[in-house]
Amino acid sequence: MKIRIKDKVYEVEISDSGGERVKIKVGGKEFSFGEDKKEISVAKTVLPKRDFSKKEIKAPIAGIVSEIFVKEEDFIKKEQKTLVISAMKMENEIVSDFEGRIRKILVQKNQEVKEGDTLIVFQ
Amino acid sequence: MKILKFKIISSTNEIAKKLAEKRKTEPWQVIAAEKQTSGYGRKKTAWFSPNGGLYFSVILPKSKIEDLQTLTILAAFIVAKVIKENFNLETFIKLPNDVMIMSNVKCQMSKPKKICGVLTENVISKEVKLSIMGIGLNTNIEKFPKDLEKRATSLKIELGREVDNEKILNQIVEEIRNQLKTISE
């Protein structure tokens, strides 16, 4: 069956899993409901998919990494400055789009980078 | 033109960045100082900034990175043109961002000496969030320290008279505005 919440339509499937538990599938995610000690418990049986692929900082411009302000394992905030790329005599401060812990820094000071090169990967 | 003037400041680029990050500026706001205590050029090299010189930063409107690169080079040409037109001094560009003049002062042969430097700084995440163009022009500086006097000069040293800092600032910023309009179209 389909239910509409605000403007979004969800595909919902209800099934009996035996005993006194009921499984409800909403848009690919499965939830299990049951009556334990007269309390209703809700358990997610499928973890939401997380998109790790975008959690990295890429070089927006070709140039030379002239300064690095962060190190691996650092927890950094959104908009925190991470490094500087010098290009055509412009100094380009690269700030983070994400909040998170840095897993790997793939560049070193004075290294040349091309536009689109991955600089920093988050955990 | 909105000019925020300081008697003494660490660096016009640094203060411009701080003000812009607090969203206390708008495009084409100019931050000018009579003296900088920590003026800097590329790679944070010190820029000699005593009283008398012209030090200012311009908050640029959000633009494409390619346009900003072009604008940095154009800014050096604009400064050279303003010096040539106002004072009839022979200027040339040390690409992409220094302006030099052939100096005869205290030299048997003319020697190229630096008179101006341009430093554009951008803050970028997925897009350009902030761009600041800083210009240091040696206008009414009377004397340079020993280690600089062979490489640097000022308009006052070359002309033997003082120049109008505010007039020069206005001419340069207006021209930068016109050029950005042209290259962004």
Residues B124-159 have pLDDT tens digits of: 987 888 999 999 999 999 999 999 988 999 999 999
Q: Where are the beta strands (DSSP E) in A1-123?
A: 2-5, 8-16, 22-26, 29-36, 39-44, 56-58, 63-68, 75-76, 81-87, 90-95, 100-105, 112-113, 118-122
> Binning pLDDT at 50, 70 and 90, where does residue A48 land?
very low
Mean pLDDT of A37-46: 47
What are B61-107's pLDDT values in tens digits?
988 887 888 888 889 999 999 999 999 998 999 887 899 998 877 66
Residue B102's pLDDT is: 86
Task: Report which of residues B149 and A54 the model is more confident about.
Answer: B149
Mean pLDDT of A92-102: 93
Task: Report which of residues B18 and B42 the model is more confident about.
Answer: B18
Residue B121's pLDDT is: 93
Q: Establish if B67 touches chain A: CB-CB under 8 angstroms.
A: no
Mean pLDDT of B103-130: 85
Indicate which CATH number applies to the domain containing B88: 3.30.930.10
Task: Report which of residues B170 and A41 the model is more confident about.
Answer: B170
- Of B68, B119, B122, nearest to A93 by CB-CB distance is B122
Short-list A37, A9, A11, A13, CA closest to A23:
A13
**Contact yes or no for B73 and A88 at CB 8 A:** yes
> What ipTM does this complex have?
0.83
β pairing state of B30-33 and B3-6: parallel
- Structural domain span for residue B95: 3-184
d(CA B130, CA B153): 32
- The token pair at A89 is 């005599």
- Of B118, B124, B126, nearest to A92 by CB-CB distance is B124
Task: Report which of residues B43 and B167 the model is more confident about.
Answer: B167
Give chain B's mean pLDDT.
90
**Contact yes or no for A60 and B120 at CB 8 A:** no
Residue A40's pLDDT is: 46
> Binning pLDDT at 50, 70 and 90, where does residue B173 land?
very high
> Binning pLDDT at 50, 70 and 90, where does residue A53 land?
low
Q: Which chain A residue lies closest to B125 (C-alpha atoms)? A: A95
Looking at the complex, report in whole angstroms how far the Cα of residue A78 sits from the nearest Cα belonging to chain B.
10
Short-list A41, A40, A45, CA closest to A28:
A45
Q: Establish if B23 touches chain A: CB-CB under 8 angstroms.
A: no
Looking at the complex, report in whole angstroms how far the Cα of residue B16 sits from the nearest Cα belonging to chain A.
14
- List residues of chain A with CB under 8 Å from any CB of chain B: 60-61, 66, 79, 81, 86-97
Rounded to the nearest 10 degrees, what angle do helices B65-87 and B165-184 cross at? 140
Complete domains list, chain A, with CATH: 2-44 (no CATH), 56-122 (2.40.50.100)
Short-list B87, B85, B79, CA closest to B114:
B79
> Binning pLDDT at 50, 70 and 90, where does residue A102 land?
very high
Residue A39's pLDDT is: 47
Helical (H) or strand (E) element with B59: strand B54-60
Mean pLDDT of B110-137: 91
Residue A44's pLDDT is: 44
**Contact yes or no for B42 and A86 at CB 8 A:** yes
Looking at the complex, report in whole angstroms how far the Cα of residue A48 sits from the nearest Cα belonging to chain B.
26
Q: What's the structural domain count of chain B?
A: 1
Residue A36's pLDDT is: 52
Mean pLDDT of A45-70: 76
Cα–Cα distances in angstroms (integers) from residue A27 to residues A12, A22, B87, B103, B116, in the given order: 7, 16, 74, 76, 63
Q: Establish if B64 touches chain A: CB-CB under 8 angstroms.
A: no
Mean pLDDT of B16-41: 90
Residue A6's pLDDT is: 61
- To test the contact with chain B by mutation, choose from A91, A97, A113 the residue with the greatest count of B C-beta atoms within 10 A, namely A91
Residue B111's pLDDT is: 82
